[in-house]
Structure 1
Amino acid sequence: MTRVLFLLAPGVHLLDFAGPAQVFSTAADLGLPYTQHHLGETTDIPTAQGIVLTAATDWPRSSPDDLIIVPGWRAPTLRGTGTFGAAALERLTAHHAAGGTVASVCAGADALGRAGLLDGRRCTTHHDVQDELAARHPRAIVVRDVLYVVDDRVVTSAGIASGIDLALHLVASAHGPAQAARVARAMVVYARRNGSDPQASVMLRHRDHLDDVVHRTQDALDARFSESLRLPELAAIAGTAERTLTRHFRRATGMTPLRYQQLLRVERAEHLIEQGSTHEAAARVVGFEDARMLRRLRARA
C-alpha cells in the first residue's frame, strides 16, 4: 500500500491539491493500492478559494514506498508565502534521503527548494514564478514552460491543472501506462505525459480523444500488445465492424491499430534494452519473432 501524504500550506490552491488527490482516489477506486493523508502545521488550512480544509498535524511513520506531495499556494511572490517551519522541511529531506519520492505542484517547488531538494536538480514551477524560483535557489536547474520534470525522485510540476499530469505520470511509473490511462479515462481528462521528455508514452500520447470504440480497442492492445491480435478480434472487442474500427482508429490516433501495437512494442522493447536486455531478448518479450523487425521499426520511428 502506497500512502500519498499531502503537505498543505495556508492559502493552498484547491486544484493544486484536489487534482492529484482525485487521481490517486480514482486509482484506489480502480483497485490500485493508494491511501491518502492530509498534513499541515495547523489543523485548519484556509485555501486560496476560501474553503477551509482539515489536516492532521501528526505525521504517520512513512516508508520509501510512500509519496509526499506539496501542492502550491497563492503566491504573487514566493518570498513570504508557503511558510513551512523547519520541522516540515526536514520531513521532506528525510523522506527523500530514505529513498522516497517527493513531488510539488506550482509554488510547492519553493518548499522543496528550502528543503535543499532542488540543489543540482532539474525542476519547474508555474511560469509566473519561474524566475523567482531560480533566483531564490541558484543551485536549482529551472526548466521553463514544461508540465513537469522528474529528477532523482524529485518531481515538480508547473501549476494548477498540471498537478493532474504529474499524478498520472506517477501512477504510470508505478503501475504502467495502461493503469494511468484507465484513471484518466475514468476522470474524463486527456491523459498527457509531458515534461522533460515530452509526450514520451505512446499510450498516453494517443489517448487524447473521446472515441469509446477506439478506447476499447486501445485497452485490449495496451494489455495484450505482445500477442498477435488480428483486426477481426479487435473489431469484436470494440463491438463494431472491421472497416468502422479502422476508420475510427485512424481518425482518433492518425494510425492503424497494427501501427499502434507496433509502437507499443517498440517502446517497451526500448525500455528493456535500456535496462540491459539484448535486442534479441527484448524483441521476443514484446512479441516479435526476432530482432530484425524491432530494428526496422526503431529506425523508422
Structure 2
Amino acid sequence: MRSVVFVLLPGVHLLDLAGPAQVFGTAADHGHPYRLRYVGERATVPSAQGLPLTAETAWPALDPADLVLVPGWRSPTARGGPRLGEAWEARLRAHHAAGGTVASVCSGAQALGRAGLLDGRRFTTHHELQDELAARHPRATLVRDVLFVTDDRVVTSAGIASGIDLALHLLAARHGPALAARVARAMVVYARRNGHEPQASAMLRHRSHLDDTVHRVQDLIDARFAEPLPLATLATAAGVSERTLTRVFTRATGGLTPLRYQQRLRLERAEHLIGQGAMVETAARTVGFDDARMLRRLRARR
C-alpha cells in the first residue's frame, strides 16, 4: 500500500490538510487504498483554526512511490512562519533524491524552498506570498496565479482549497483521470479546476455538471474509451434513447457528443504516450484507432 505522509507544522491550516487527505482517503473506496500518515516534530501540533492535531514524531520508512506533502500554515509573511528543523528538511531532500514526490499546499512551499527543492524548478504558492518567496529563492521560477505546478516530482499549489486540485491531479497522474473523476464526483467537486497545464484531462474538464445520466455515460466511456462504443450501446446503458442521450450529453458537456468526448480522451492519452517516447502509430493503436491517420487528423485539428 502506498503512503501519503503529511508533514505538520504549528499553525497548519485544516483545509490545506483535510482536502488532500479526503482525496486520498476517498481513493480507497475506488480500489486504490493509501495509508495516510501524519508526522511532526512535536506530538501535538496546534492548527490555525484551534483544533490540536496528533502527529507521529518519528520519520517513517518511505518508498519512492510514496508521497510527502507539506500543508500550509497561517503566517502573514514567509519570514515570520514556523520552519522545519534541518534534519527534517534533509529528509524531504532525501525522499526526492530517492525518486519520491514531494508536494506542498499554500505556504508549505516555504518548507520545500528551505530544503532546496525549489531551486532550478518552477513553483507556485498563495498569491499573498508569491513576491516574498520569489525574492527568497531567486534560483526558482515563480509561476503566478495558477492552482498548481509540477516540476520534476516537486508539486506546489496555491492556497487552501487548491490542495484538493493538487491531490486530484496526482491521482490522475498515478492511476488515470477516470479515478480522479470518480473521486471528485464522490466529493461533490463537480467543477474540478485545472492547474497550469492546458492539456488537463477532458475527463475532468467536462465533468462540471450535475446530470447523473451523463455522468453514468461518461463513467462508461472513461473506463472503455479505447474500445468501440456505439451510441446505441451507450444509450442502452443509460436507459434512454439515442436521440435523448445525444441531446442531454451535448448540453451537459458544452457541445460535445459522446463520440467527440471519446475522441478527446483518446487524443489526450495518445499525446501522453507520445510524450513518453511512443511512436505515433503505436500510440494510435493503443488508444483504439485502427491506424495513425485519424490520430494525426485530430492532432492537427486541435
Q: TM-score range by the shorter chain?
A: over 0.9
Using the size of structure 1 for normalisation, the TM-score is: 0.97
Q: Could you tell me which residue of structure 2 aligns to residue 234 of structure 1?
A: 234
Matched ranges for 1:163-178 at <5 A: 163-178=163-178
Instruction: Kindly provide the CA deviation profile for residues 65-88 of structure 1, in whole angstroms up to 9, marking residues without a partner as x.
Output: 110000000011011212211111
Give yes or no for the alignment of 1:107 onto 2:122: no
> CA RMSD of the aligned region, Å?
1.2
- Distance between the aligned counterparts of 2:140 and 2:191, measured in 1? 28
- Distance between the aligned counterparts of 1:264 and 1:9, measured in 2? 40
Q: Could you tell me which residue of structure 2 aligns to residue 43 of structure 1?
A: 43
SS at match of 1:156: strand
Instruction: Kindly provide the CA deviation profile for residues 147-200 of structure 1, in whole angstroms up to 9, marking residues without a partner as x.
Output: 000000000000100000000011111100001111111111036352231352
Given that 1:168 and 1:184 are in contact with CA atoms closer than 8 Å, whether structure 2 keeps it comes out as yes
Letter in 2 for 1:78: A
- Distance between the aligned counterparts of 1:282 and 1:64, measured in 2? 27
Q: Could you tell me which residue of structure 2 aligns to residue 25 of structure 1?
A: 25
Matched ranges for 1:217-228 at <5 A: 217-228=217-228
Given that 1:193 and 1:199 are in contact with CA atoms closer than 8 Å, whether structure 2 keeps it comes out as no
Range with greater deviation from structure 2 (156-165 or 132-141): 132-141
Aligned length: 301
Matched ranges for 1:262-281 at <5 A: 262-281=263-282
Range with greater deviation from structure 2 (98-107 or 262-271): 262-271
Given that 1:181 and 1:191 are in contact with CA atoms closer than 8 Å, whether structure 2 keeps it comes out as no
Given that 1:177 and 1:203 are in contact with CA atoms closer than 8 Å, whether structure 2 keeps it comes out as yes
SS at match of 1:155: strand
- Distance between the aligned counterparts of 2:163 and 2:181, measured in 1? 16
- Distance between the aligned counterparts of 1:190 and 1:136, measured in 2? 37
Letter in 2 for 1:289: D
Range with greater deviation from structure 2 (33-42 or 79-88): 79-88
Range with greater deviation from structure 2 (199-208 or 123-132): 199-208
Q: Could you tell me which residue of structure 2 aligns to residue 147 of structure 1?
A: 147
Q: Could you tell me which residue of structure 2 aligns to residue 198 of structure 1?
A: 198
- Distance between the aligned counterparts of 2:13 and 2:277, measured in 1? 43
Letter in 2 for 1:122: R
Identity of aligned residues (%): 72
Given that 1:109 and 1:156 are in contact with CA atoms closer than 8 Å, whether structure 2 keeps it comes out as yes
Given that 2:191 and 2:209 are in contact with CA atoms closer than 8 Å, whether structure 1 keeps it comes out as no
Once the 2 structures are TM-superposed, how far is the Cα of residue 91 of structure 1 from its aligned partner? 1.0
Q: Could you tell me which residue of structure 2 aligns to residue 137 of structure 1?
A: 137
Letter in 2 for 1:10: P
Range with greater deviation from structure 2 (257-266 or 286-295): 286-295
Instruction: Kindly provide the CA deviation profile for residues 83-109 of structure 1, in whole angstroms up to 9, marking residues without a partner as x.
Output: 211111111011111111000000000
Q: Could you tell me which residue of structure 2 aligns to residue 210 of structure 1?
A: 210
Q: Could you tell me which residue of structure 1 aligns to residue 34 of structure 2?
A: 34
Give yes or no for the alignment of 1:127 onto 2:105: no
- Distance between the aligned counterparts of 2:52 and 2:207, measured in 1? 35
Using the size of structure 2 for normalisation, the TM-score is: 0.97
Given that 1:165 and 1:191 are in contact with CA atoms closer than 8 Å, whether structure 2 keeps it comes out as no
Show structure 2 runs of 5+ residues with no match.
none
Question: Residues 193 and 64 of structure 1: is their aligned pair in 2 closer, same or farther, counting only changes over 3 Å?
Answer: farther
- Distance between the aligned counterparts of 1:191 and 1:60, measured in 2? 35
- Distance between the aligned counterparts of 1:186 and 1:194, measured in 2? 18
Letter in 1 for 2:188: V
Once the 2 structures are TM-superposed, how far is the Cα of residue 270 of structure 1 from its aligned partner? 1.4
Letter in 1 for 2:257: T
Letter in 2 for 1:153: R
Letter in 2 for 1:54: T
Once the 2 structures are TM-superposed, how far is the Cα of residue 228 of structure 1 from its aligned partner? 1.1
Q: Could you tell me which residue of structure 2 aligns to residue 260 of structure 1?
A: 261
